[in-house]
Structures are given as structure tokens and as C-alpha cells.
Amino acid sequence: QCIDNFTDIIHLKLDPVYLHPSWTAPRDFCLMRYWRDNSDGSYVICLDSTTHADCPLVQDYLRAEMHGAYVISPPSNKSKNNIGNGAAYLEDEGEGSECMLTFVAQVDCKGWIWHAFGYQKRYLQELLLHVLDVRDSLDVERFLHVHFDPVFEAQSASSSAAGQSSATAAAGESEGSLATIPPPILSPSMWSTPDASTFKVRGGSYNQDKVKVSSAPNLFKLAAIDLFEVPDATRNIASHPNNRVYLANQRGEKFWAFVFNIMVPGPPFLSFVAYFIADKSKIYEETPFGKIARPFFDGNDDEFRNNRFKLIPKVVDGNMIIKMAVKDTPTLLGNKLKQYYHKEEHYFELDVDVGSSSVARNVVGLAMGYSKNIVVDMGLCLQGNDESELPEILF
């Protein structure tokens, strides 16, 4: 849970550790994490055990306690060759692209671990080794990522052109020409609809047991994704005369689309635009989703919308630094970023201004600076608060 721009609550799980002659039980932590920039250019991230209603004890896990801190230090004018114990030195080519990462922690493992023979110290050492993983994850970005599958290469050599055309044709049949005219700026080979069942949403009895369940299949169909370079943050992009939604409406096509526009600060300024085709009748059905969707899509209360639209991000493949920065915690974006809403007969557009938050701008800059390739799954849903609005479902 995000508390403010500098504080959140996280749940950390640790796999069993082998300490000869046996394995330890798995541990978990409920931690308050808070961070700050220092005037000397260093960055501090603190971790302190806490309790939280949405982080109950987990079956088969021992709830341990931790008090720790990461310190990320920029180079000084002194020699960089002397590295103290317990610190990893991160180095890359280029001026200003190196730092020293130090992690200090005090851990109470709870449960049963031998106090003799250095077992408690060994457990802490195993935990500290993740600092080396951070170093290695940064170092790997210095080298070209080569993916080669001989079987796949042989198959794709003869069928890539046919496969691309058939995929485009299939999209055109299911979503109309809105999906294909003009051709998506991002090729369909670069995006797909994630499996909704991999996202955890509030279950029907969430208010009583705080249990989240796998989402039912998406209600809306992802039709196309565009990535535009724009002169400035651009709202209501679906109304632009060259946009696919505007053009489809001018051609007389009958549809209703949900347009999700993420405005990325620049320069260069970008708009990541996802288009979803939907059967609008689902909004008026007497379902938990319909109860929230009617005031969300047809109403005019932006405060209600800000408190209901929820994004669930998951970094599937990317640098460890990015995975640490982009948590998979469901977030009411309207409480963190400025959102703008545009309602027309044939579409509803939601614009998210990433530049309205300094933390969000920093995360975007981090992602662009550290990742050449990244795979992110995003789930969109409307938050259900009372029993008549549950279970939640991705749309």
C-alpha cells in the first residue's frame, strides 16, 4: 500500500534457506519502506517491520522482523578503489554511471534457528547476498542480450510473413477496422492481452477475510496499442483527426471503446495509448462490475472515478532495479497522479499524467535509463468497496 510519495507498506517473502544439516522454514516480513534524497547526492531506503490489516500472517510462513537500510552513494573525489566490507560496487562505462550500494540490516528470524555455531549470522549473510544480485543485474545491461532458439528460428523463417498477416486479419475481424486502420504504431508482436487469472483481485468476501482471488476473464478486448511522440502532454487523444477512434467514427463504424492514455513526461513527450473494444451493455448489467461501471463511465463525478480506477502492474521481465521500483501492488492512480476523463457517445478516454508526480517521473526515468528490454503486464479494474461491488474483475 502506498502511503505517500515517500512511504509504502510491502510484504516480503523469503524461501527456505539450507543451513547444514537442515533447511529453515520460509520467513516473511511486513515492512514499512520509506526513502529520501540527501543533499550530498546519496539516496537512502529504510525498512522497518510493522503490522498492517492487508498483510496478515501467512500459513506455513514465520513472520520475522527486520530493521534495515540501503544507502546508495555517488562517487566522491577520493579514490574509488577502497571498498568496505558489506558493500557492492556498481560500475558501468561512462561518467556518473557508478555508485556504491550498502545494505545494513538487523533481523530477528523468530521461530527456531540454532543460536550456536553461527546459524543466526549465516541466515543474515544469506539475506545480504541479494546485494550482489543487484550488482549483477546492473552489470548484465552492459552486454548485448542474445536470444536464439534454433527450432523457433527455423519455423519463423518460413512463416513469419504469413503469421503477421493472419494475426492482423484476425484482429480486423474481431475488432473491426479500428484495430487495423491505420496500422498500429506498435506491432501486435510487441503486445498481447495478459492472462487475467494471473492477477489477484478482491474476492466476494474480501471485507470479511481480506482474501484476494484470481480475476475472471477480461470484460474488454484489447484491440490496438499506439505510441505517439507529441509536443506536450496531450489529453483526449482519441479526438485527434488522425486517431484511429476518430477515423473509425467518421467511417460510420458502430463501436464503443475505452481509451487508456498514459502521458509520459519528456522530452521527448510520449503518449502510450491502449484501445479496448467492449460491449457497452455489460456496464448496465446487474453485476458487481456494472454497479461501479455505470457511475464511472456515465456519471460526471471525477472524485468517484479517482477513487475507483485501479492499476495492477507486474514487471514480468526486466532489470531487478526496475522490479524493485515498480511494485505489483494495486494502485488507485487518481490518488497519486492527475487523471483526466473524456466521455463521448462512442468512446470513454482516461488520461494519466505521469509528469504530475515527481516520484512517478523518477521511476520512468529509471526504467528508461536501466532497461533496454522490459515486459510489463498491466491489469485494469474498478475497485469494489462493499459486498454488492465484489468480486472485482479486470476489464
- pLDDT (tens place) for every residue of the chain, 395 residues total: 888 878 889 998 887 776 666 677 788 999 999 888 888 888 899 999 999 988 898 888 888 888 888 888 888 765 444 444 444 444 444 445 678 888 888 888 787 665 555 666 666 777 777 777 777 766 666 665 555 455 444 544 444 444 444 444 444 444 568 888 888 888 888 899 999 999 999 999 999 999 999 999 999 999 999 999 998 899 999 999 999 999 999 999 999 999 999 999 888 889 999 999 999 999 999 999 999 999 999 999 999 999 999 999 888 876 666 666 666 778 898 998 999 999 999 999 999 999 888 767 666 665 665 556 778 899 999 999 999 999 999 99
- CB contact at 8 A, 127 and 105: yes
- CB contact at 8 A, 61 and 26: yes
Residue 172 has which C-alpha cell?
A: 480486423
Rounded to an integer, what distance in angstroms lies between the CA atom of residue 224 and that of residue 222?
6
User: What are the b/e assignments for 195-231, b being 16+ CB within 10 Å?
Assistant: ebeebbbbbbebeeeeebbebeebbbbbbbbbebeee
C-alpha torsion 283→286→287→293, nearest 10:
30
- CB contact at 8 A, 11 and 30: yes
Rounded to an integer, what distance in angstroms lies between the CA atom of residue 247 and that of residue 143?
43
pLDDT digit string, tens, across residues 122-178: 667 777 777 777 777 666 666 655 554 554 445 444 444 444 444 444 444 445 688
Rounded to an integer, what distance in angstroms lies between the CA atom of residue 9 and that of residue 167?
42
- CB contact at 8 A, 36 and 7: no
> Please, which contacts does 9-17 make with residues 24 or more away whose CB atoms are closer than 8 Å?
9/33, 9/50, 9/52, 9/54, 9/55, 10/327, 10/329, 11/55, 13/58, 13/61, 14/64, 14/127, 17/123, 17/126
pLDDT for position 160: 44
* H or E segment to which residue 27 belongs: strand 27-37
pLDDT for position 90: 41
Cα angle 234, 341, 280 (rounded to 5 degrees) comes to 120
Q: How are beta strands 27-37 and 99-108 bridged, if at all?
A: unpaired
Q: Helix (H, G, I), strand (E, B), or coil: what is residue 312?
A: strand
pLDDT for position 92: 41
Q: Is 261 exposed, middle or buried (0-12, 13-18, 19+ CB in 10 A)?
A: buried
Residue 187 has which C-alpha cell?
A: 506491432
List, edge to edge, every strand of the sheet that includes 257-264: 221-230, 269-277, 257-264, 347-353, 338-343
Cell 478486448 found at: 221
- 260 closest CA partner among 164, 202, 333, 189: 333
CA 189, 191, 193, 199 dihedral sign is: positive
pLDDT for position 162: 45
DSSP strand E in 163-286: where?
200-202, 212-214, 221-230, 257-264, 269-277
CA separation, residue 269 to residues 186, 272, 343, 371 (Å)? 17, 10, 24, 18
Output the pTM of the full model: 0.59
pLDDT for position 133: 74
